[in-house]
């Protein structure tokens, strides 16, 4: 590099560039050296996982979905009412009711917000349940106007779905 710079007569400019490159390399080396080692990061991650598992095992876990039936639990969490309870309450979020049912059947949660029909189905599988509270929610049957369904007995040859 020095030979190239001296041939072009840019020795002063090349010296400045070399100094800047030297300082950039030194700065990068210092930044890399100040970071945590892989073993340190792994140890801290292990400690964080242990702490999270300890807190999670002491807490009451409740399966919830984004429905109006779960709204009181969301409000209680928002206003930090669960933090005053010893051990705490953790809401486990699911998008489908079948996922909540599976979580309670496999004992990954201690409670769930569900309807009575699903609760009876879970109880028939051998899971002992206790009903803590009830809501005034109800089911409605909605049919397409073109299907011409006026009575429930007209559904015996039709496919239906609940949501």
pLDDT of the residue at 75: 92
Distances (CA, A) of 148 to 50, 95, 110: 59, 32, 43
Q: How far apart are CA 100 and CA 109, in angstroms?
A: 9
pLDDT in tens, 132-144: 887 777 777 777 7
pLDDT band at 29 (very low <50, low <70, confident <90, very high): confident
Between 65 and 45, name the one with better pLDDT. Answer: 65
Question: What is the DSSP code string of the chain?
Answer: -HHHHHHHT-HHHHHHHHHHHHHHHHHHHHHHHHSPPHHHHHHHHHHHHHHHHHHHHHSEEEEE-SSGGGHHHHHHHHTT-GGGSTT-EEEEE-SSHHHHHHHHHTTS-SEE---HHHHHHHHHTT------------------GGG---SGGGGTTS-----
Which percentage of the chain shows pLDDT scores above 70?
85
pLDDT tens per residue, range 92-127: 999 998 999 999 999 899 999 888 888 888 899 888
Angle between helices 116-124 and 97-105 (to 10 degrees): 30
Q: Using 50, 70 and 90 to split pLDDT, how confident is the model at 63?
A: very high
Torsion over CA: 90, 95, 100, 102 (sign): negative
């Amino acid at each position: 590099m020095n030979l190239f710079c001296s041939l072009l007569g840019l020795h002063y400019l090349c010296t400045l560039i070399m100094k800047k490159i030297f300082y950039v390399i030194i700065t990068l080396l210092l930044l890399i050296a100040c970071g945590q080692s892989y073993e340190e990061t792994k140890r801290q991650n292990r400690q964080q996982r242990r702490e999270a598992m300890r807190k999670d095992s002491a807490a009451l876990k409740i399966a919830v979905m984004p429905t109006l039936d779960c709204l009181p639990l969301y409000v209680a969490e928002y206003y930090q009412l669960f933090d005053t309870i010893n051990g705490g309450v953790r809401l486990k979020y699911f998008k489908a009711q079948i996922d909540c049912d599976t979580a309670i059947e496999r004992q990954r949660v201690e409670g769930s917000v569900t309807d009575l029909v699903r609760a009876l189905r879970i109880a028939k599988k051998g899971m002992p349940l206790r009903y803590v509270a009830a809501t005034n929610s109800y089911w409605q049957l909605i049919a397409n106007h073109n299907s011409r369904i006026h009575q429930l007995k007209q559904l015996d040859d039709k496919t239906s779905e609940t949501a």
